[in-house]
């Protein structure tokens, strides 16, 4: 059983999808052992409490620099014996030291089909605003490993979602969460915990 540590900053809808998947037995090779929030008062912490999952809060503004925050997060992750780190709406850019310490053990879900509408500055509703402004007919979600480049790590799984003519950023965001993010994030989490993902030459492969 691998220890899954989920990093959050807000409402925790993707965290809830993971909790629900674990309850349904879809995540069976790992267990969510801790939720870490970058903010006080994040509703994701309430979700963790309801599910009986221990939580910790490591607030960015409590630290004088990005490096000192990275060190604090690293200490907590080591204490929690994290095997897999899942970014579920975590709004802090992780430091290089942490990324190297957990190379190919940190996954993130992004609300577009990378390489479209990704990278620095592309998060939340902004992603969907750009997609609609560009007039794309298909968007979706991507789960990828995290490296030093924003949204630049090896892609593990993607799922397309149709864009409708009357979509707003809000309706598109909701549909992509429901039809893609909440499905592929738990799937990738289980695949990782079952040792079914390998990375070779910068690409991720799912093993049979």
CATH number at residue 41: 3.40.50.170
Q: 0.75 exceeded by the pTM?
A: yes
Interval 71-80: pLDDT, tens: 999 999 999 9
Overall average pLDDT of the 155-183 stretch: 98
Please tell me the predicted confidence (pLDDT) of residue 199.
Answer: 98
- Give me the number of domains the chain comprises: 2
Please indicate, yes or no, whether residues 6 and 64 belong to a single structural domain of this protein.
yes
Overall average pLDDT of the 34-38 stretch: 98
Q: Which residues are catalytic?
A: 110
Q: Are strands 138-145 and 155-162 parallel, antiparallel or unpaired?
A: antiparallel
Peptide bond into 115 cis (omega under 30): yes
Tell me which of 102, 128, 150 is where a domain ends: 102
Tell me which of 75, 102, 129 is where a domain ends: 102
In whole angstroms, what is the distance from residue 127 CA to residue 17 CA? 21
Question: Given phi > 0 = left and psi -120 to 50 = alpha, else beta, which region is 207?
Answer: beta
Interval 121-165: pLDDT, tens: 999 999 999 999 999 999 999 999 999 999 999 999 999 999 999
């Amino acid at each position: 059983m691998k220890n899954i540590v989920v990093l959050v900053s807000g409402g925790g809808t993707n965290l809830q999808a993971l909790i629900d998947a674990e309850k349904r037995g879809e995540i069976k090779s790992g267990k969510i052992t801790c939720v870490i929030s970058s903010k006080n008062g994040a509703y994701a912490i309430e979700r963790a409490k309801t599910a009986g999952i221990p939580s910790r809060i490591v607030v960015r503004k409590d630290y004088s620099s990005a490096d000192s925050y990275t060190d604090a997060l690293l200490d907590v992750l080591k204490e929690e014996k994290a095997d897999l780190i899942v970014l579920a709406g975590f709004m802090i850019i992780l430091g290089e030291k942490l990324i190297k310490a957990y190379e190919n053990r940190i996954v993130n879900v992004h609300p577009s089909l990378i390489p479209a509408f990704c990278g620095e500055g592309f998060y939340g509703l902004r992603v969907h605003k750009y997609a609609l402004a560009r007039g794309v007919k298909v968007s979706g979600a991507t789960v990828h490993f995290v490296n030093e480049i924003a949204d630049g790590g090896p892609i593990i799984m993607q799922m397309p979602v149709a864009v409708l003519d009357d979509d707003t950023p809000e309706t598109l965001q909701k549909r992509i969460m429901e039809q893609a993010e909440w499905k592929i994030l738990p799937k990738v989490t289980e695949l990782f915990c079952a040792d079914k993902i390998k990375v070779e030459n910068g690409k991720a492969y799912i093993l049979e």
